[in-house]
């Protein structure tokens, strides 16, 4: 057999390895996954020539849970927990853009306090998700200590998120018009402590993982995506930024409080697994900065319900009492059968693994007419097909881990 050479027409996209090698007759086909520690919830069918992968075919869909279809039968607000299940370790980031799309159709803007609260939780989630990615990345290369350490420190962020929202992972926090809870009393203090802890701790991560010669040699020059190829393939998030693409949804179309806080978007130009790890590493530092700013802002400003007046002013006195006592924003029963005016909106937000895009179309009913989700992992999946060929079998987990692929998110 011969491997089909992609992209000779019309496109000057050339990928080394897959094209350069002449393929022998007897290729060895290896099915990696789904019950395989190096694959998670997906299968990659690779063909190897010796130790070199000549063809990789990602077989996705093992976690396809039909979210786009289910959303068409459910009321608008019920879809928030539904879409959250795409990436439960990054819950706020994946749902916030859906909520923003709803708000755009409704024509409302959440109050500043709600925007800051969402930003705060988004950044907490971003750190937790990056640490999750680091942990999986580490254990894919056999570094179990990196896995354990990043999961240990992820618990700090999970604990903060739990204090804020009342759930470890599935916060269901943003809702159209605002957020569901306000800051607990001792939160700012704890958040600042956590920020200081992380600043010190990240240095140790660098020592044991990023600058560890063994791990460095595994990551350097592996899975290189040049800038042009990255743009052509449409990869997102840290994968794109490690290839020199200066794109971040928070920059391109600032949502929530991102146009008010100060932060940097780290960009590297090497495009290999090491650069992707460093992007995530630097992003954690920037997220810590944002958390500090958000907490400062929230502490400085007066405590009030983080909810749009449309949904809050007409609410009964019990609502205000509960908010005063517990910081919990109660929902009006009309939320369940919220009717959106006809229209269509698109919104994007930057999750830990990249940009998520929602296309929402309403035909004036209580349920969406169509919701289209393109999640970062779904867009990064193409890396397996075009970047993996040409590298060694042992590089596959490295590339997998470095693009931080999360199958439930890709399959939706």
Partner 1 sequence: MDVEELKKRIEEALGGLVKGIEEGKGFIDVIVDLDNIVEAASRLKELGFDHVKSLTVIDYPKENRFRVIYHASSYLDEELAKYIVGIGADVPRDNPRMPTLVYVWRGVEFQEREVYEFFGIEFTGHPDMRPLLLVPQLAEAKPLRKEFIVKEEPIIRVKPPTG
Partner 2 sequence: MTARPVVKRLVKRKGLFAGFKGNVDAITLGLKYLVDPKRFTLIYPNEYIKLDPGYRGFIVLHKEKCINCSSCARICPAAAMRMIKRQEQDPKTGKVKMKLWPVINYQRCIFCGYCVDVCPTEALYTVPYHDIVYENMAEMDWGLETFTRPPEHPVEKEGGIPVKYIVDEERGLVKVKAEGEEGD
Partner 3 sequence: MSGDGGRVYVGNLDRSAKRAKDLVMGKLRMGRAVDWATAFSLWPVHLTTSCCGCEFAATWSPRFDAEQHGALPWVGARQTNMILIEGTVSKKMACAVRVTWEQMPSPKFAIAMGACAIDGGIFYNSYNIVRPWEIIPVDVYIPGCPPRPEAVARAIIELQRKIRQKRVVSKWIEEGWRPDKEYVAPKEDPCSWWRG
Residues that bind partner 1 (CB under 8 A): 4, 6-7, 9-11, 13, 60-61, 64, 66, 68-70, 72-74, 101, 104-105, 227, 230-235, 240, 245-247, 251-253, 343-348, 355, 357, 359, 361, 369-370, 372, 374, 378-379, 381-382, 385-386, 411
Could you say which of partner 1, partner 2, partner 3, none residue 151 binds, taking C-beta under 5 to 8 angstroms by partner kind? partner 3
Q: Does 340 bind partner 2 (CB under 8 A)?
A: no
Q: What is the dihedral of CA 35, 41, 45, 51, to 10 degrees?
A: -70
**C-alpha–C-alpha distance, residues 342 and 363, integer Å:** 4
Distance of alpha carbon 116 from alpha carbon 203, whole angstroms: 28
**Smallest separation (angstroms) from partner 2 to the CB of 391:** 19
What does the alpha-carbon distance between residue 381 and residue 59 come to, in Å, rounded to a whole number? Answer: 10
| Cβ-count burial 195-229 (b if 16+ within 10 Å, e if not) | beebeebbeebeeebbebeebeebbeebbbbbeeb
Select from partner 3, partner 1, partner 2, none the partner in contact with residue 344, using the beta carbon and a kind-dependent cut-off of 5 to 8 Å: partner 1
Residues 27 to 86 in contact with partner 2, rule: CB under 8 A: 74-75, 77-82
Query: Distance (Å, rounded) from C-alpha 77 to C-alpha 296?
Result: 30
Residue 93 contacts partner 2 per CB under 8 A: no
Looking at residues 229 to 258 of the shown chain, list those that interact with partner 2 (rule: CB under 8 A).
Answer: 244, 246, 248, 250-251, 254, 258
CB of 384 to partner 3, least distance (A): 17
User: Cα–chain-centroid distance for residue 145?
Assistant: 23
Number of Cβ atoms within 10 Å of the Cβ of 276:
30
Contacts of partner 3 in 15-34 (CB under 8 A): 34
By a kind-dependent CB cut-off of 5 to 8 A, residue 278 interacts, out of partner 1, partner 2, partner 3, none, with: partner 2
Minimum CB separation from partner 2 for residue 162, in Å? 7
Binding partner of 385, given partner 3, partner 1, partner 2, none, CB within 5-8 angstroms per partner class: partner 1
Cβ distance to partner 1 smaller for residue 53 or 128: 53
Spatial strand order of the sheet with 28-32 comes to 28-32, 43-49, 52-59
SS3 for 351?
strand
Q: Which two tokens stand for residue 292?
A: 């500090």
CA–CA dist 84, 94 (Å, integer): 6
Residues that bind partner 3 (CB under 8 A): 34-37, 40-41, 61-66, 69-70, 73, 81-82, 85-89, 132, 135-136, 148-149, 151-152, 154-155, 158, 168-170, 408, 411
């Amino acid at each position: 057999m011969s491997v089909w050479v992609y992209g000779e027409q019309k496109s000057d996209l050339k990928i080394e390895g897959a094209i350069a090698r002449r393929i022998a007759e007897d290729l060895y086909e290896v099915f990696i996954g789904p019950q395989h520690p190096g694959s998670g919830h997906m299968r990659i069918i690779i063909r190897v020539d010796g130790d070199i992968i000549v063809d990789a075919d990602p077989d996705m869909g093992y976690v396809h849970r039909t979210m786009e279809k289910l959303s068409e039968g459910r009321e608008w607000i019920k879809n928030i927990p539904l879409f959250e299940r795409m990436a439960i370790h990054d819950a706020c980031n994946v749902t916030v853009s859906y909520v923003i799309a709803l708000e755009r159709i409704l024509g409302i803007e959440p109050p500043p306090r709600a925007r800051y609260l969402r930003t705060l939780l988004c950044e907490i989630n971003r750190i937790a998700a990056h640490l999750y990615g680091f942990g999986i990345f580490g254990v894919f290369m056999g570094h179990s200590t990196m896995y354990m350490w990043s999961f240990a420190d992820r618990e700090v962020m999970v604990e903060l998120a739990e204090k804020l929202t009342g759930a470890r992972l599935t916060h269901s926090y943003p809702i159209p018009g605002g957020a569901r809870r306000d800051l607990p009393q001792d939160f700012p203090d704890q958040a600042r402590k956590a920020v200081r802890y992380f600043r010190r701790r990240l240095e140790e991560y660098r020592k044991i993982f990023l600058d560890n010669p063994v791990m460095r040699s595994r990551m350097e020059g592996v899975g290189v995506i040049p800038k042009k190829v990255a743009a052509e393939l449409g990869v997102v998030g840290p994968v794109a930024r490690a290839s020199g693409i200066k794109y971040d949804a928070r920059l391109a179309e600032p949502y929530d409080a991102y146009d008010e806080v100060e932060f940097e978007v780290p960009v590297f130009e090497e495009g290999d697994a090491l650069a992707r790890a460093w992007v995530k590493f630097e992003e954690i530092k920037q997220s810590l900065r944002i958390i500090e700013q958000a907490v400062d802002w929230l502490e400085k400003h007066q405590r009030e319900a983080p909810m749009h007046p449309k949904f809050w002013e007409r609410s009964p006195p019990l609502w205000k009492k509960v908010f005063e006592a517990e910081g919990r924003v109660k929902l009006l029963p009309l939320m369940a059968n919220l009717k959106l005016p006809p229209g269509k909106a698109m919104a994007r937000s930057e999750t830990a693994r990249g940009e998520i895009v929602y296309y929402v179309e309403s035909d004036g009913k209580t349920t969406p007419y169509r919701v289209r989700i393109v999640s970062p992992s779904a867009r990064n999946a193409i890396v397996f097909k075009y970047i993996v060929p040409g590298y060694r079998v042992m590089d596959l987990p490295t590339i997998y881990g470095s693009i931080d692929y999360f199958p439930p998110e890709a399959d939706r």
